[in-house]
Amino acid sequence: MTAPPLLRPMRIALLAAAAAAHPVLAAGTSPAQQLDRFSRQAGAPGDAERGRSFFTTRHGGEWSCASCHGNPPTATGRHASTGKRLDPLAPAANPQAFTDPVRVDKWLRRNCNDVLARECSPAEKADVLAWLLTLRGAAR
Ligand code: HEC
């Protein structure tokens, strides 16, 4: 008996456990996988119509999401206070959007705080992304 046959399955099990313990690795990198991640956290699929309404309305503060990202967010946005130009948020108009979970989480934390004075819930994130994924590019 040379290499114990148990070693390979154990290695695979360990890798799977590491990926599961590491949400960023497990989440993958496409917009569809981000939507899947938020929906699973919310325990329900995103609702595009609710996402459109959430994105385009103010929530007690000065700004909506659309204040900086535009409506529909298929064209270049403009930061409401600094005037800095923002790449389109809709994946159809910006292949980079929603491809980096760390970046997505970082901006959602910051932007939701700016708009709602709290973090967005997983359901709100799923709704917004479900809507963004229904938008067509072209406006660029
Ligand atoms: C005050 C301006 C502002 C508002 C309001 C705002 N954002 Fe943003 N958002 C930004 C900026 C700036 C970035 C970074 C863009 C860049 O560097 O190209 C960004 C990036 C993002 C990203 C990262 C996209 C990616 O994958 O690269 C997401 C997601 C996002 N915003 C969602 C939202 C949502 C949802 C709301 C409403 C709750 C919102 N934003 C409101 C300014 C804003």
Q: Is the CB of 123 under 6 A from ligand 1?
A: no
pLDDT at 15: 56
pLDDT at 98: 97
Quick: pLDDT tens for 106-120. 999 999 999 999 999
The residue-averaged pLDDT of 41-61 equals 97
* In contact, 139 and 82? CB cutoff 8 Å: no
Burial class of residue 78 (count of CB atoms within 10 Å of its CB; 0-12, 13-18, 19+): middle
Q: Is the CB of 63 under 6 A from ligand 1?
A: yes
pLDDT at 140: 44
Per the listing, tokens 């154990």 go with: 10
Quick: pLDDT tens for 17-34. 555 555 545 445 899 999
Per the listing, tokens 């973090």 go with: 119
Cα–ligand 1 centroid distance for 22 (angstroms): 24
